[in-house]
Structure 1
């Protein structure tokens, strides 16, 4: 049995699909499949069942996953010890919401890359999150505080959201002087039944009668719709204030949310993870004006 085969096995167990695991590993799906078959021959058991959505672990696969993850933890501990007096190298995978990852983290990453030129950073900025409990990510920045799992969790920062509209569009459609005015304007928001967190339900918090007419699972798409003059939306201040074409509406309306920093309990002492967490903490402290508007 080879450790490289176990790494491929863990990637498929976490991703749930051969193709997705292959993309994460930087190899083709044929290679991953070949390694899985070799591993199954070595232990004489079937590890996955093929389902309509991908690969699901068998009971034998679940047992092997526990043992492989224990081995992985030992490898990480060895790597962490080796990193102590040397320049940081290897990779760290970060999962963040699309808005925070794209608009706040990404523009600041060059400073981290310059400070640690041998460190590889995977920024997964999307609607939905990778799970540190299943080792899908080294660090996750979540909208909800997780309540279970072998995790280390701390509050990263608060951030504020406000109403925005395009400057030219608002000039043509009249001023917005009260919450009642919002009811006559086209609103932009999330698709209600596709919310990946209830923390994203902003409009009903402002006024229960408000319903978005144009809806998207992407906060970046919502921003583009506002900028194109499609209507009014609730946006994070670090997005809305950064666009000079947008105007903030109704100063008395503000929604406050929080980001939570999450790592696996066994990996938070890794030098790579520690370096990223320290850098992100400093970036958040320096960026409070942007985060809070």
Structure 2
């Protein structure tokens, strides 16, 4: 399963030769839990003198104060002395566990969603408008809410409701299936954000190149698994 990731990162080995020391990455919950472990784990195997810290916090990181060496965001910042590089698009769909249909009727159209319990973000803790998935659907009540996508997914796995889930996270939750994929499909993007003060920092430039390459490969790999037969109702 890791063959494509290995190939993608292996191609950059020469460019990152000598990567060492500590690098801290700030990232939103979904990316930190379901993408960075595989990518960073592989990077440290390739560069054993490199120490990577992953800080998973549901907020924007202040790079000027050195809360992190670089951050991954879901939107492009509009202020600050920052360098921004688009990493990749990713997709999200409604998902639920089969356990939910033991209690409720499975929806056939988006208008049926109002009769089902919903899992999502705590509304006043959404730190980026790109994470406000449910508002466009008119689903203003979230019966079970968390600021963590990992908690949301565990609620969904218990059959507590339905919610919006990253396609790249679905392979980690075999109890979940995408639903109404022909009615709702969301696309968002990840961006790598760095301080312009680091523009000529060769070590961070090399690491950023390896990181972005690995994330692109891993998003593609996991989304392909979510698309596989049996991945939706």
2:89–2:187 contact (8 Å) kept in structure 1: yes
Q: Give the whole-Å Cα distance in 2 for the aligned partners of 1:163 and 1:196.
A: 21
Q: Is the 8 A contact 2:23 2:53 kept in 1?
A: yes
The reply to whether residue 212 of structure 1 matches residue 136 of structure 2 is: no
Q: CA deviation at 1:173?
A: 2.3
The structure where helix makes up a greater share of residues is 1
Give structure 1 regions of 4+ aligned residues with deviation exceeding 6 angstroms. none
- Cα displacement string for residues 67-93 of structure 1 (whole angstroms, at most 9, x for unaligned residues): xxxxxxxxxxxxxxxxx9983221111
Question: Deviation of residue 239 (structure 1)?
Answer: 1.1
Pick from 77, 87, 102 the counterpart of residue 156 of structure 1: 87
Highest CA radius of gyration, 1 or 2?
Answer: 1
Task: Count the aligned residue pairs.
Answer: 209
Partner of 1:158, secondary structure, is strand
What secondary structure, in the 3-state scheme, does the structure 1 residue paired with 2:215 have?
A: helix
User: Which residue number corresponds to residue 112 of structure 1?
Assistant: 43
Contact 2:40 2:211 in 1 (8 A): no
1:233: how far off?
0.8
Q: Deviation of residue 198 (structure 1)?
A: 1.3
CA distance in 2 between counterparts of 1:291 and 1:145 reads 23
1:210 and 1:86, CA in 2 relative to 1: closer, same or farther beyond 3 A?
closer
Separation (CA, whole Å) in 1 of partners of 2:139 and 2:213: 40
Distance 2:180 2:140 in 1: 15
Conservation of the 8 A alpha-carbon contact between 1:166 and 1:245:
yes
**What's 2:176 paired with?**
246
Write out per-residue CA displacement over residues 25-83 of structure 1, whole angstroms, 9 at most, x where no aligned residue.
Answer: xxxxxxxxxxxxxxxxxxxxxxxxxxxxxxxxxxxxxxxxxxxxxxxxxxxxxxxxxxx
What residue in structure 2 maps to residue 197 of structure 1?
Answer: 128
Alignment of 1:21-170 (within 5 A): 87-170=18-101
Segments of 5+ residues of structure 1 without an aligned counterpart are 1-83
* 1:154/1:261 contact within 8 Å kept: yes
What's the CA shift for 1:203? 0.9
TM-score, scaled relative to structure 2? 0.82
The structure with higher relative contact order (CA 8 Å, sep 6+) is 2
TM-score by length of 1: 0.66
RMSD, matched Cα = 2.1
The CA distance in 1 between the partners of 2:114 and 2:48, in whole Å, is: 51
Structure 2: where are the runs of 5+ without partners? 1-14, 227-233
1:229 aligns with 2:159: yes
- Mapped partners of 1:263, 1:291: distance in 2: 27
Alpha-carbon spacing, 1:115–1:269, altered in 2? closer, same or farther (3 Å): farther
Cα distance in 1, alignment partners of residues 16 and 26 from structure 2: 27
